[in-house]
């Protein structure tokens, strides 16, 4: 209303189809929809200028996620950084910290991690801001330690 809004493309030009499993990182431009599974990070090459990522109800990401606009209806296991907007649909499940400029969370969505509002979630270079670096260096809670051990298999006998 009072500020200039950045234009985030609403067109999804790429798709990871249902039943597809990708082992490795994805870097995309424009828009990406994930209906399958990605075992690696997913990052928009546009930095904070644009880029939309949709993780559908059948979509799973096992790794870090970075985009300007993120819509989650599926599952993300890892940290999430959105320079503009994070939309968490009713069936969304995020296990990891969420850094956002604007957040829309529907009833039923679950976040197991910290929600951190950032005036500018990412620097133009795409690097995490100083505030995010400090948050990463902060002591871990028991829940975070348990999640990390469960993820790596540490602590199991």
The 10s digit of each residue's pLDDT in 47-105 is 556 789 999 999 999 999 999 999 999 999 999 999 999 999 999 999 999 999 999 99
Contact 30, 8 (CB under 8 A): no
Quote helix, strand, coil % in the chain, to nearest 5: 10, 40, 50
Contact 25, 48 (CB under 8 A): no
| Residues 15, 81: Cα–Cα separation, whole Å | 20
Whether pTM > 0.85 for this model: the answer is no
- Residue in this structure with the two tokens 């602590």, named with its chain if needed: 155
Residue 145 phi, psi (nearest 5)? -65, -40
């Amino acid at each position: 209303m009072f500020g200039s809004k950045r234009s985030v493309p609403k067109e999804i030009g790429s798709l990871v189809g249902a039943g597809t499993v990708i082992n490795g990182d994805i870097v995309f431009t424009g828009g990406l929809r994930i209906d399958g599974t990605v075992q690696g990070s997913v990052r928009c090459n546009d930095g904070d200028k644009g880029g939309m990522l949709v993780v559908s109800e059948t979509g799973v990401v096992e790794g870090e996620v970075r985009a300007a606009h993120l819509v989650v209806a599926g599952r993300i296991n890892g940290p999430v950084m959105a320079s503009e907007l994070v939309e968490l649909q009713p069936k969304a499940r995020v296990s990891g910290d969420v850094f956002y400029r604007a957040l829309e969370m529907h009833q039923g969505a679950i976040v197991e991690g910290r929600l951190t509002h950032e005036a500018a979630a990412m620097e133009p270079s795409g690097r995490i801001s100083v505030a995010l670096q400090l948050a990463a260096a902060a002591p871990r809670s028991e829940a975070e330690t348990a999640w990390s051990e469960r993820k790596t298999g540490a602590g199991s006998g």
